[in-house]
Amino acid sequence: MTEDTKAAPKLRPCPICGKPAVEAVKPFCSTRCADVDLHRWLGGVYALPAADQDDESDAES
Ligand SMILES: [Zn+2]
């Protein structure tokens, strides 16, 4: 049996830019993209302020 899975990279594409990921910084393609993802977390993109929707009408003036 011969399997041609040698060249098949198991790493998934970079979630940031879609380029092939690099083992050293997986699942990203570079430290830059890893940084972007990190900043997303720090920036609160993943932690959106779940502001009370009822507060909106109260803020109107
Ligand atoms: Zn990338």
Give per-residue pLDDT as tens, 28-52.
Answer: 999 999 999 998 888 865 555 565 5
Tell me, in angstroms, the distance from the centre of ligand 1 to residue 24's CA. Answer: 13
CATH topology assigned to domain 11-45: Erythroid Transcription Factor GATA-1; Chain A (3.30.50)
**Which of 17-21, 40-44, 55-59 is the least confident region?**
55-59
- pLDDT over 80 (residue 24): yes
Where are the domains positioned within the chain? 11-45
pLDDT of residue 45: 54
Residue pair 52/35 in contact by the 8 Å Cβ criterion: no
8 Cβ contact list (under 8 Å, min separation 6) = none
Q: In angstroms, how far is CA 48 from the centroid of its own chain?
A: 15
pLDDT of residue 47: 53
Tell me, in angstroms, the distance from the centre of ligand 1 to residue 5's CA. Answer: 24
